Chain A
Amino acid sequence: GAGVSQSPRYKVAKRGQDVALRCDPISGHVSLFWYQQALGQGPEFLTYFQNEAQLDKSGLPSDRFFAERPEGSVSTLKIQRTQQEDSAVYLCASSLAVGGGYTFGSGTRLTVV
């Protein structure tokens, strides 16, 4: 597609509920990233894929967070047993190669109530 597409755009979850956030990167982009942006803060790195391989998951806040990219294109970020502190905008980005600047999606705003 023309850009990075994320869905849903907004998600309200009750505390304890599981959620799944989807990212469709630009076709052909090898690298895919997830970032978490809390209100009033800059984005913070969560995880990085090169094709289907998850090369870095050092930014995932806890073992409730899980990301996958099974066929090297679409990626899903799953959060189990959501908690209020998980409320944030989750951004996905993709690129042809690392280091040059990435194309970000519009994000999914998750609110846990």
Chain B
Amino acid sequence: GNSVTQMEGPVTLSEEAFLTINCTYTATGYPSLFWYVQYPGEGLQLLLKATKADDKGSNKGFEATYRKETTSFHLEKGSVQVSDSAVYFCALSPGGGGSNYKLTFGKGTLLTVNP
């Protein structure tokens, strides 16, 4: 079946540090890949997505590249801010028809950014 493995946290960084959160996946075919963010007390928000190999998703200074050869979708940001403190989830939905609506999530990575 489909699965997502992401870097376990917590991750603690100082403001303006470089961020990488690793994510690898197992899936048949050509899944779509997502990063969701969950701020304290709020629902999951879509941060960025990529729907085919070599696509780069980007938003709010975050970016991730869909690497089919390494089945990875690592999240990066060049300079984190205190306001980026949240839990980050990597997720996939199966490609093609069938159950392409069903998201499979990783366990989440808690990021804390200190001033």
Contacts and interface: CB of A to CB of B under 8 A. Distances in A.
Interface residues of A, number: 26
A35 B44 CA distance: 11
Contacts, number: 57
A109 to B, nearest CB: 11
Interface string A12-43: 00000000000000000001010100001111
A100 B46 CA distance: 10
Q: Give the bracket for the number of chain B residues in contact with chain A.
A: 20 to 34
Interface of A: 3-4, 31, 33, 35, 40-45, 48, 56, 59, 91, 93, 98-107
9 contacts: A31-B101, A41-B108, A42-B107, A43-B89, A43-B105, A56-B102, A99-B93, A101-B49, A104-B36
